[in-house]
Structure 1
Amino acid sequence: MMARMPDGPALRKICLVATEESGDRLGASLMKVLRQRLGDAVEFSGVGGRGMAREGLTSLFPIEELSIVGFSAVVKQLPKILRLIGQTVDAILTSTPDILVIIDSPDFTQRVARRVRARNAAIPIVNYVAPTVWAWRPGRARAMRAYVDHVLALLPFEPEEFRKLNGPPCTYVGHPLIEQLSMLRPNADEQERRNAQPPVLLVLPGSRRSEVARHMAVFGQTLDALRAKGLAFEALLPTTPHLESAVRDGLASWQVTPQIVIGEAEKRQAFRIARAALAKSGTVTLELAISGVPMVTAYRVGELEAFILRRVIRVQSVILANLVIGENIIPEYLQEACTAENLAPALAEVLADSPARTRQCEAFARLDQIMATGAASPSVRAADIVLQVMRQGRLPS
């Protein structure tokens, strides 16, 4: 039975599980809208970070405990991961929420969802951020039908992929980046700086310590090669406070010293004045594309991870912006191809007024239409579906 507020509506208990900073941001925005919809008649529980804590969630454990990257790292930490999964499942079952929302981090959250469904099939489950079944392990989509009632997709092509793979119902709610256009796109003065000399070149080696470690040396060599060719540029390297020391350590071998930019607001300001970027593959490529910044992308992983990925990846590009646009417009240099000899000429091309730069800019101009969600923001669309699934309850299979 649902608890009832004194002289008010029934109390709704919503459990959310997010174990990464990106998921925490999504969870916080979702919680804010759910609170607007339900007022004081809602109680949040589960796992989240600082953003979700500000919206009223007391996390079962600090999400920093799960900041694990790479297959080998996961294997080493497996007992700890399994213990936290069990702890999370037990807490959810004890609280008997009206709905469970798992947010991204599929290696953790999907296991939580499966165990919750096995032990209490009455709890509806929504998956916010579709697992990349279109990229690898497509069989996951069909398997999810057994324990996920609805998938909320950030990318416009994902609902059709889930339909083709016989997955659970999937709705495109929109990417959070489309709520931040004013912060990503330049005003008149910033556009003038973007077009001025020397051009601003963004250097984005990654958002995790392991990524920084793998990319800093080759990115430094690439900038050295550009400078050796006589190209003038102003290099900016946005990062976060917890990665600043790793970034500064990596700069020790660089001949070109970039200006380090710390913090989200400063990073966005750098995006608004940048002419081009050298970026690690990931969500940042979509962020740059929406900002209108042509780029060259690169990615290196450990040998074990590379061995596995080569055998399971089923897409022609790993660049998120390419996938959303629908063509391989952004050059990507992966693993052995990730060298200064390859990166420097490609980067020189997008810094100049070249056909390659023009093609990227024209493709980026189509993104607003491709990613449109109508009048409602992504967090509002997501909250509306969560409330709909919660009110209709768990449907029979």
Structure 2
Amino acid sequence: MSPTRIAIIAGEESGDRLGGALMSALSARRDITWFGVGGDDMVAAGLDPLFPLEEIAVNGFDAIVRRLPQLLARIAETAKAVAAFKPDVLIVIDAPEFNHRVAKRLRRALPDVPIVNYVSPTVWAWRPGRAKAMRPYVDLILALFPFEPAAHARLGGPKCVYVGHPLYEALRAGRDGSVGEALLVLPGSRRGEIDRLMPLFGEALARLAPEVPVRLLAVPRHRERIEAYVADWTVKPEILTGAEGKRTAFATARAALAASGTVTLELAAARVPMVVAYKLDFTYRQVKRLHRFIPIVTATSMVLANIVIGRNAIPAFLEDEATPEAIAGALEPLLRPGTPERDDQATAFDEFDAAMRVATSPSEQAADAVLDLLATRATR
């Protein structure tokens, strides 16, 4: 029996990690010839990349515009090379700006090759029309969140199966059940959100005047900027950075004040009660205003755990609602044991655990779904 030919493309480091784990799970089950684009994890799993991942791993609108000619050339090159490889299946991982353009070109060139999209675009949060637009060139979506299959079904998107979230599984496995002594502050990882949130968080802490230690987890490249803001705070946090700092921060957190984002998933997995706040940049403020007239944003919450469990158990304050008084008032009961607010979040974390859990591991679930698709195609 000849090897299965799989083309696989990751457009950034997070996708490379997913791709490496999926490749290992698939290679353990059958003989595979790999082709595509990826980074260190995918190379370690057996990929000889078409070109270095760094050439297409760009973040932010401005960066995409600056490198647009190079990116367009790489899209054309990648699609042509994948078509020449004649894969049994193409797997594209996240990075829709690059990967979906490759997928569309392959569908035109080789319409019988099934295409798998690993990591659903956030059609459930904004621009829901993207779900239906994917249907002509994506046969299967491997979703990281349990609510995404229903969202795609509702929006007319491709077939979608939940395979689990690797980050959640890793954090869930590492928690020890202890109650920490500190208030953890997480102001985000991007310069803009740090600039918007640090003054707000400082004022909220001043009103709260916590009796517990305060620790702030900073992205190393922004530490000096954060230290400059903290210099004006009346409550002085201990600033932690790096992997060891993150382990300490999460292990010792009794409650957290966090920017909206993936970190709220991490806190929920670690069962740290939290309050979430966010201030939008100029572009997203305009989107929010436009949403009054055109339904662009469809998410019921900016906290992933709230969306997963279907109720707003975790307090979240956006834009004008994000005031020092509101944040301090929501945080205060989370720092005291046995309060209804802490108990409600503990119940929410139980619900979150039950919804997110998968039978094996995310990579194994993803491998099952890919092989099921190939088996179905083989019987046609």
State the partner residue of 1:206. Answer: 188
State the partner residue of 1:343. Answer: 327
State the partner residue of 2:72. Answer: 82
Residues 157-216 of structure 1 show CA distances to partners (whole Å, capped at 9, x for unaligned) of 1112212222221111122245325544125xxx15x2xxxx312222224454444434
Percent of residue pairs bearing the same amino acid type: 44
Distance 1:204 1:90 in 2: 43
Q: Secondary structure at the match of 1:17?
A: strand
Q: Secondary structure at the match of 1:130?
A: coil
State the partner residue of 2:20. Answer: 28
State the partner residue of 1:284. Answer: 263
State the partner residue of 2:118. Answer: 128
State the partner residue of 1:54. Answer: 44
Q: Secondary structure at the match of 2:217?
A: strand
Q: Which runs of 5+ in 1 are unaligned?
A: 1-8
Return the offset for 1:330.
1.2
TM-score (structure 1 length as normaliser)? 0.83
2:242 is the counterpart of 1:250: no
What is the one-letter code of the residue matched to 2:343? T
Q: 1:361 to 1:257 in 2, by over 3 A?
A: same
State the partner residue of 1:215. Answer: 197
What is the one-letter code of the residue matched to 1:343? I
Distance 1:54 1:224 in 2: 49
Distance 1:12 1:107 in 2: 27
Larger displacement relative to structure 2 (217-226 or 325-334): 217-226
TM-score (structure 2 length as normaliser)? 0.87
Q: Secondary structure at the match of 2:116?
A: strand
Return the offset for 1:262.
0.8
Q: 1:159 to 1:147 in 2, by over 3 A?
A: same
Contact 1:184 1:271 in 2 (8 A): no
State the partner residue of 2:355. Answer: 370
Return the offset for 1:395.
9.5
Distance 2:25 2:333 in 1: 44
Residues 166-177 of structure 1 aligned to structure 2 (within 5 Å): 166-177=156-167
What is the one-letter code of the residue matched to 1:158? E
Residues 225-247 of structure 1 show CA distances to partners (whole Å, capped at 9, x for unaligned) of 43xx3x223233335xxx41312
The CA RMSD measured in Å over matched residues stands at: 2.6
Between Structure 1 and Structure 2, how many residues are aligned? Answer: 369
Q: Which runs of 5+ in 2 are unaligned?
A: none
State the partner residue of 1:111. Answer: 101
Distance 1:215 1:90 in 2: 45
Distance 1:238 1:32 in 2: 33
Distance 1:123 1:362 in 2: 45
Return the offset for 1:327.
0.5
State the partner residue of 1:37. Answer: 29
Distance 1:211 1:79 in 2: 29
What is the one-letter code of the residue matched to 1:68? N
Q: Secondary structure at the match of 2:183?
A: strand
